[in-house]
Amino acid sequence: MTQILDGKRVGDEIRNEVAAEIAALTGDRRRPPGLAVVLVGEDPASQVYVASKGKAATIAGMTERTLRLSAAATPGEVRRTIEELNADSEVDGILVQLPLPESLPERELLLAIDPDKDVDGLHPMNVGRLWSGEPGFVPCTPFGILELLERSGVELIGRHAVIVGRSRLVGKPMAGLLLAEHCTVTMCHSRTADLPGECRRADILMAAIGRPAFFGPEHVREGAVVVDVGINRLDDADEVQRLFADSPKKLRAFARRGSVLVGDVDYPKVAPIAGAITPVPGGVGPLTVTMLLANTLLAYKRREGME
């Protein structure tokens, strides 16, 4: 039987742990942890993400502030907002939602975030800390995947992990984390020769390229653990019918909403071969916001000298 790696369950578990810790802190008359989110422009997907981050922080008992700047904001205006948050003693975590409008210098603005408040783990200081084995902040999605694997009983030591996708939010930090957990790590990407062959060598396969249902049975060795990081919205009826002909639940969801969420993995074909697999939705997705809460609590504890 294939084990389903349930990100919703693990995410709820971690959120409850974070909320319980915060309740104990505020019960001791300490201030709650504070998260600040900077949103520049009106990108609809970013608005949805930011709203769910703010809501989750509030439910967990944190203070949360979303600073909305117009798409026409100058680099100086965004930088000043970040610097004010750096200086604000009640803000523990700062997240600048990406992508920024093209007119803004992303790298320079991420550099402006205080590394000790960088709960997204994107500041070069935190990238360096991860790769040199020092305490820092790790991007939320790979951090969440690691929690999901560990809390689901997936053995990591000595296993061969193949990561497909080299983004700085997922693929690269995932490699650093798995190395630290004593995996043997192979990184693959769009220029890899014989991608299916590399993937079939994996005990643990991480699919993170953002292409709907790209990974099929030819990429997966029998019994492998498959982690699907893709979240792709499919609205092409023929494509949905082709991929999910035998999945009435997905077809009903498509008939209702006109689109369905699909991972990078062809789930109906791969799940029967895999030893364990994350579904989409309900796998990796719920853990990203959860780990933002965990990182913000960690930032708070470090800043308060509790860690």
With beta carbons less than 8 A apart as the criterion, state whether 118 and 126 touch: yes
In whole angstroms, how close is the CB of 223 to ligand GUN at the nearest point?
Answer: 31
Within a 13 Å sphere around the CA of 33, how many CA atoms are in the beta-carbon half? Answer: 36
In whole angstroms, how close is the CB of 229 to ligand GUN at the nearest point?
Answer: 11
By the rule CB under 6 A, 113 interacts with ligand GUN: no
In whole angstroms, how close is the CB of 11 to ligand GUN at the nearest point?
Answer: 15
Return the residue of 10, 91, 140, 163 that touches ligand GUN, per CB under 6 A: 140
Exactly one of 53, 117, 172, 250 is catalytic; name it: 53
Active-site annotation holds for 120:
yes
Name residue, tokens 């610097």: 83
With beta carbons less than 8 A apart as the criterion, state whether 48 and 305 touch: no
Cα 8 from Cα 282, distance rounded (Å) = 5
Active-site annotation holds for 116:
no
Position closest to ligand GUN via CB: 98
By the rule CB under 6 A, 264 interacts with ligand GUN: no
By the rule CB under 6 A, 127 interacts with ligand GUN: no
Instruction: Show the tokens assigned to 177.
Output: 């984390």
Contacts with ligand GUN in 269-288 (CB under 6 A)? 288
Return the residue of 78, 95, 104, 130 that touches ligand GUN, per CB under 6 A: 95
The residue count of the chain comes to 307
Choices 19-27, 90-98, 156-164, 182-190 (CB under 6 A): range interacting with ligand GUN:
90-98
Choices 10-18, 96-104, 124-132, 242-250 (CB under 6 A): range interacting with ligand GUN:
96-104
In whole angstroms, how close is the CB of 110 to ligand GUN at the nearest point?
Answer: 9
By the rule CB under 6 A, 98 interacts with ligand GUN: yes
By the rule CB under 6 A, 38 interacts with ligand GUN: no
Contacts with ligand GUN in 39-78 (CB under 6 A)? none
By the rule CB under 6 A, 112 interacts with ligand GUN: no
Exactly one of 6, 120, 264, 266 is catalytic; name it: 120
Active-site annotation holds for 97:
yes
Which residues are part of the catalytic machinery? 53, 97, 120
Interface with ligand GUN by CB under 6 A: which residues?
95-98, 120, 140, 169, 288
